[in-house]
Amino acid sequence: MSFEFEKQLKVTETNIPGLLVFDLPVHGDNRGWFKENWQRAKMTALGLPDFGPVQNNISFNATKGVTRGIHAEPWDKYISIAAGEIFGAWVDLRPGESFGQVYTTRLDPSRAIYVPRGVGNSFQALEDGTVYTYLVNAHWSLEQKKTYTFVNLADPELNIQWPIPLEESERSEADLHHPMLKDAKPMAPKRTLVTGCNGQLGHAIRAYAEAHDLHGFEYTDIDTFDFSDPAAYERFDWSLYGTIINAGAFTAVDKAETPEGRPVAWKANAQGPALLARVAKDHHITLVHVSSDYVFDGTVEQHTETEPFAPLGVYGQTKAAGDIAVANAPEHYILRSSWVIGEGHNFVKTMMTLSNRVADPSDKLNEVTVVDDQYGRLTFTKDMTEAIFHLLDSHAPYGTYNLTGSGKVKSWADIATAVFEQTNHNGDKVKPITTAEYFANAKNPVSPRPVHSALDLTKIEATGYTPANWAESLKTYVSQHISE
C-alpha cells in the first residue's frame, strides 16, 4: 500500500468546469484500511453536487496496463479506487468554450473524482488487480447509449502523457478507432420539455428556441402529454431531461368559479405542477413554472416575491397551490407575471378589434367601456421567455422571481386608451368604468380581481436582467399586429 493514510477530506477544482478531485481520509494499519468512500453530507458541503446516484458499478482490471476510454457518457459519475492505482485522463466534450480541455491525475484509494455529464473519461491501470468503482445518477438504456460521444486516447492534440506507452497497453478494438478531437461530436445537452406549447407563452418559447438555434426541445400540450395525469409520466425516461418549462395552465379566471370549471382548474394548476415537481425532484430536473398576480389579494400597491398568499378566487387559489408544490422541487424557478400578452387571444388584440369597429362608420359600436380601478403592468410573452432563458443560462439562484414589463403602473382603461390611440387615433372612445359597474349585470359567475397587480422587479433585476418597458413593448406589439 503506497497511498497516504489520514488525509483531510478536501476538494480541488480543475481546469475543466465541474470536474472535482477529492482527497479522502483513509484509516489503516498493517491489517488493512477503511474509508468513507462517498459521504453525501460532508462532500456536498465541500461543493460536490447532490447528484443523486442510482447505481454503483465496479470495473476489475486483472493486469497492469489495461487502458480504457475516452468515453463521455450522459450522466454524472463519482469515481474512486477500491484497490490498486490508475492514471486517469478527462477531456471536456461538452459544447462551449471548455471543449477539448484535458485534465490528468493519478487516483488511488485516497483520491476520488467527480465527473460531470459530457466530460470524457479514461483510465490506465498502474497495478495488477486494480478495482475501479463508480456511482452514476442514471440507468443505462439504449436511448442513453445513443448520446455517448468519444475521442481517441492517442490524439496528439490532447497530448496525454500516458505512464505506460499506449503501444504497450491493452486496449479494446473500439477504443483504437475513436475519432480525433477535431472530429469528435460534442455531447448533446439534456432535453428540455415544454408543456402548454400551443398557448401564448408556449408559442414564444418555441420561437425563441428556433431563433437561437437551441436543440433538444420537445413541445407538448394536453393532447400529447397531460401533465396532470399521473399515468402520463410513465412513457418518459426522465433521466434524459434536464429542464421542464411548464407553460401550461388553466387561465379561464371566471370559468374557474363554475361547478364544471373548478375541478379542471385544480387539476391543471395544482395537481399538474405537483406531479411535475415530484418528477423534477426525483431526477434532478430544473423546473420552470409560471405563476400569477392572482395569488395575492391586491391590497398592497406592489407585490414582492415574499408576500404571503391571499388569493381571492378559485383561479388564484389553484395557482397558489401550484406554486407551493413547485417550490418543493429543489431546482426550480417560479416566474410570477400579470396581465399576459402574446400570440393568440388577449386583451390587446381584443382592444385593437374594438378600435377598428368603433372606427368603422358601418358598425354601430360607438364606444367601449373598460375598467379603471384595477392597476398593473403588462407582461409580454417575449419578455417572459427572455427572462426564463436568462435565469437558466446565468444559473441564477433558484426560487421565485417577479417578471412583468417595467414602467408606470396603469389601469386597464389606460392601456385600452393607448391601444385605441395607436390603432385608429380614437383613444377618446374608451370610457372608464368601475369593476363593480362592469360586472353588474353578469349572468355567469365572476372571479374577484386583485385591485393592485403591480409586481416589484428588484429581485430579477439583481440577476442582470432588465425588463423592457411595457409601454414600448405595447407600441411594438400593436405595430406588428395592426394589419391583421
Domain count, the chain: 2
Domain match, 347 and 390 both: yes
Q: What is the pLDDT of residue 253?
A: 95
139 in catalytic set: no
Pick from 183, 215, 236: which residue ends a domain?
Answer: 183
Residue pLDDT, tens place only, 43-75: 999 999 999 999 999 999 999 999 999 999 999
Q: How far apart are CA 10 and CA 476, in angstroms?
A: 54
CA distances from 337 to 45, 294, 305, 453, 471 (A): 35, 9, 11, 9, 16
Exposed, middle or buried, 152 (CB in 10 Å: 0-12/13-18/19+)? Answer: buried
Task: Determine the distance from the C-alpha atom of residue 53 to the mean position of all C-alpha atoms in its chain, rounded to a whole number.
Answer: 20
In a domain, 4, yes or no: no
Q: Is the pLDDT reported for residue 483 higher than 90? A: no
Per-residue pLDDT tens digits for 144-200:
888 899 999 999 999 999 999 999 999 999 999 999 999 999 999 999 999 999 999
CA gap 257, 261 in Å, rounded: 6
- Please check whether residues 295 and 175 belong to one and the same domain: no
Catalytic residue among 71, 103, 390, 438: 71
The domain boundary residue, chosen from 151, 166, 183: 183
Other Cβ atoms less than 10 A from the Cβ of 94: the count is 22
Position 1 in a domain: no
| pLDDT over 90 (residue 404) | yes
End-of-domain residue from the set 183, 210, 245: 183
At 7 the pLDDT is 86
363: domain CATH number is: 3.40.50.720
In a domain, 2, yes or no: no
Rounded-to-integer distance, Cα 409 and Cα 477, Å: 18
132 labelled catalytic? no
Quick one: pLDDT at residue 22? 97
324 by Cβ neighbours in 10 Å (0-12 / 13-18 / 19+) ranks as middle
- pLDDT beyond 80 at 381: yes
Choose the weakest-confidence range: 4-8, 133-137, 189-193, 284-288: 4-8
Range of the domain at 51: 10-183
Let me know whether 130 and 57 are in one domain: yes
267-318: per-residue pLDDT in tens? 999 999 999 999 999 999 999 999 999 999 999 999 999 999 999 999 999 9
Rounded Cα distance between 340 and 347, Å, is 9
Active-site residue, from 78, 114, 132, 134: 134
174 plus 227 within the same structural domain: no
174: its cell numbers: 473500439
Q: Please state, in angstroms and rounded to a whole number, the distance separating the CA atoms of residues 422 and 426.
A: 8
pLDDT band at 18 (very low <50, low <70, confident <90, very high): very high
